[in-house]
Amino acid sequence: MAAATVYLGFLLVALVFAYFKIFYRRLRAGEPPLAPGHFLWGNGKQFTDHAVKFLHAAHKKCGDVFTVRFLNQYWTMVLDIHSYEQFAKEKNFDFDAIQEQVNNNVFGYHIVDARKMISEAGQKVNGKHLFTSLENFANNLTEAFKQTASEADNATVTRENKTMINNMKNNSNILANEKRNDLYDLLETDVKKDYNIASIMASEKLLEQPSTFKADYFADSWSQDNLRNLASKTFFSPVFYTIFGREEAGKESNFHPQVFHKNFDQFHKYFNFLWLGLPVQMFPQAVEAAGILAQQPSSSDMVQREGCSDYIKFATEFMLRNNQTERDIICHNLVFLHVNYNTFRAVYWCMYKLMEDAEVMSAVRREVEEVVEAKRTGANQAEYEAEFTTEDINKLPVVDSFLKEVIRWTSGVFMVRKCVEDTAFTTASGQTFNIRKGDKVAIYPPVFHHDPEIFAEPETFKYDRFIDADFYKNGIKIKHPLIGFGSLCPGQKLSMLQIKWFIVNIVNSFKLELLEGEKTAPHTGMYGHEILPPTNDVLCRFRPREGAVTLKYINNYGSNGSKGLGGISSGNLL
Ligand code: HEM
């Protein structure tokens, strides 16, 4: 009994010692205050419950700069939007350690001479490469749209089509004609066989029908899909081909956009856990997905693929020069796909918001139709074409504001750095805080993006919020009100232009609608992702717009005025 008491005593002392050693922090002079949290776990639960609400509350209690704790890790939050530039320029706040953490913990590899590689590779999507990347993307987008449109035309028959067929059957005028009845039977039979309905429609029998009948038919010929699938087919596929080029015709493999999209989606669910250092083996589904994502062409085959991007070519050659392995190169390809996946997510939200609110759709459509009409050439509808340069794409105030609002509303990422030396950090208002070497320091853009003093009614989506607008905090105009790309993202311009060009094209070429009652929202439990995923997917229907003008992107790099892209400057969307 006495021995047990002594052991228990020792255990207690050891636990108390461990607590003070691992979790407890005595503040030094000049350090920011600690946000109140659980004595053991710190602020992790408050953060995962709803990061923005927690940080807004802590901001009110503690002021602009304070420290939160995730278990034994201390993160100092700089929640003053006017101090963004001071933060981004502080040389003791280092991003390399963070990028290393993602590469190592999530993708299990590391890049030799990473800073040099990322900054040189980053140039491969900017300057003249921005124009060629956009040109390649535009060509791949046209292909993807053609394919989606022909799939829609050839739609294998869904429940909806069956309803349509029933409606047709119920049409007494039509039913009067026995010959037509044969057609419905044929349609139904082919529904069951999963045949292609368009080829049936093209059959002689149908072409004999009166024109009103055909119009009715086409008015109802929608295809139905999950929004994620539709966005994947129309946007992720062209992005994938723009990055990795295309395989020789006739070769089928798992290195295919749809296979990669599905598995990336699966893998991404565990991103935050992996980033924080939990072993991937804890998540069998992530391991399975990673196994498929690792099935890529060899580095020598990859750079030979038709249309392989300059970014991938440069990064592959750089890594080979540094004797990195094929495995490292495969992992780097995945990291690059991962950063591009953010653009896909933003596109998902653009499509959702266009469909969710008729006012948004009609405002965006009006602007697109006006510009397409102004640029249209060609003698008749079949020949109508409109050409757009990068500047044209960038000069659409409604599309621009709509996209910025999507980013404001859905961005979820930290701008996080590791403090590499004890640092006295002075905010824009002149307050100085001592930041401890080894701590993380972060700006959290969603806190600003949802601040009612900066953005009136921040939870309301206002597509025109950014048109000719200035934003203020504490009566001072904000230099960088929208910082969803942080200060370092080299893909910001490309990403914004790809999305804008996609919006112009999708609105021009397709009709899109959500199915009745379908709703989703950004998943606030996933704060930490650059763009938040949806809580659930939604069903939508779409069909090609008849008589849509063919749109073309023109790479006019080098011509007068093409180098200064008004409206996008690095590190700042406005
Ligand atoms: C909507 C799309 C995107 C969003 C929201 C986004 C956001 C971000 C953010 C927040 C960072 C961290 C920056 C910082 O802390 O200062 C980042 C880094 C990065 N992004 Fe993006 N990004 C997007 C698209 C892209 C694209 C298309 C590319 C590639 C062409 C790209 C390449 C990178 C790279 C390489 C880094 C690491 C930079 C470094 O280590 O210096 N991103 N991105």
Dump pLDDT digits (tens) for 92-113. 999 999 999 889 998 889 999 9
* Percent of the chain topping pLDDT 90: 69
Q: Whose CA is nearest to atom 12 of ligand 1?
A: 486
Residue 205 forms part of a structural domain:
yes
Q: Which of 81, 35, 171 is nearest to 415 (CA)?
A: 81
The answer, yes or no, to whether any atom of ligand 1 lies below 6 A from the CB of 557, is no
Q: Looking at the structure, do residues 105 and 165 belong to the same domain, yes or no?
A: no
Q: Looking at the structure, do residues 31 and 91 belong to the same domain, yes or no?
A: yes
**What tokens does 62 get?**
């503690």
220, 249, 270: which is the final residue of a domain? Answer: 220
pLDDT tier for residue 234 given thresholds of 50, 70 and 90: very high
Separation CA 404–CA 524 (nearest Å): 19
CA 571 to ligand 1 centroid distance, Å = 10
Q: Which of 410, 399, 420, 429 is nearest to 508 (CA)?
A: 399
The answer, yes or no, to whether any atom of ligand 1 lies below 6 A from the CB of 99, is yes
Q: Looking at the structure, do residues 166 and 94 belong to the same domain, yes or no?
A: no
Query: Cβ neighbours of residue 453 under 8 Å, at least 6 residues apart?
Result: 472, 473, 474
The answer, yes or no, to whether any atom of ligand 1 lies below 6 A from the CB of 406, is no
190, 220, 250: which is the final residue of a domain? Answer: 220
Q: Which of 308, 352, 365, 367 is nearest to 333 (CA)?
A: 308
The answer, yes or no, to whether any atom of ligand 1 lies below 6 A from the CB of 446, is no
Dump pLDDT digits (tens) for 327-336. 999 999 999 9
Separation CA 127–CA 557 (nearest Å): 9
Q: Give the chain's radius of gyration (CA, Å).
A: 27
Residue 529 forms part of a structural domain:
no
Q: Whose CA is nearest to atom 19 of ligand 1?
A: 489
Residue 427 forms part of a structural domain:
yes
The 3-class SS string of 286-327 reads HHHHHHHHCCCCCHHHHHHCEEECHHHHHHHHHHHHCCCCHH
Q: Looking at the structure, do residues 20 and 104 belong to the same domain, yes or no?
A: yes
Separation CA 128–CA 139 (nearest Å): 17
The answer, yes or no, to whether any atom of ligand 1 lies below 6 A from the CB of 95, is yes
How confident is the model at residue 568, as a pLDDT? Answer: 42
Whole-number mean pLDDT of the chain? 85
Q: Looking at the structure, do residues 8 and 66 belong to the same domain, yes or no?
A: yes
pLDDT tier for residue 17 given thresholds of 50, 70 and 90: low
Cβ pair 369, 376 in contact under 8 A: no
Q: Which atom of ligand 1 is nearest to the CA of 417?
A: 15
Q: Whose CA is nearest to atom 43 of ligand 1?
A: 489
Residue 183 forms part of a structural domain:
yes
CA 75 to ligand 1 centroid distance, Å = 21
Q: Whose CA is nearest to atom 34 of ligand 1?
A: 489
Residue 32 forms part of a structural domain:
yes
DSSP state of 80: -
489 appears as a binding residue in the annotation: yes
Tell me the residue range of the domain where 84 lies: 2-110+414-443
Q: Whose CA is nearest to atom 37 of ligand 1?
A: 489
pLDDT tier for residue 154 given thresholds of 50, 70 and 90: low
Residue 200 forms part of a structural domain:
yes
Residue 281 forms part of a structural domain:
no
CA 169 to ligand 1 centroid distance, Å = 54
Residue 56 forms part of a structural domain:
yes
Q: Looking at the structure, do residues 14 and 100 belong to the same domain, yes or no?
A: yes
Q: How many domains does the chain have?
A: 2
Q: Whose CA is nearest to atom 18 of ligand 1?
A: 489
Q: Which amino acid is at 203?
A: S
Q: Looking at the structure, do residues 93 and 166 belong to the same domain, yes or no?
A: no
Q: Whose CA is nearest to atom 39 of ligand 1?
A: 488
The answer, yes or no, to whether any atom of ligand 1 lies below 6 A from the CB of 534, is no
The answer, yes or no, to whether any atom of ligand 1 lies below 6 A from the CB of 70, is no
The answer, yes or no, to whether any atom of ligand 1 lies below 6 A from the CB of 156, is no
Query: Cβ neighbours of residue 198 under 8 Å, at least 6 residues apart?
Result: 153, 154, 155
DSSP state of 103: I
Q: Name the residue of 413, 482, 488 whose CB sits within 8 Å of the most ligand 1 atoms, as the mutation to test its pocket.
A: 488
The residue assigned the tokens 């070519």 is 313
Separation CA 430–CA 451 (nearest Å): 22
569: three-class secondary structure by DSSP: strand
Give the residue, 524 or 403, on which the prediction is more confident. 403
Q: Residue 378: left if φ>0, alpha if ψ -120 to 50, beta else—which one?
A: left
Separation CA 544–CA 221 (nearest Å): 10
DSSP state of 485: T
Q: Looking at the structure, do residues 89 and 165 belong to the same domain, yes or no?
A: no
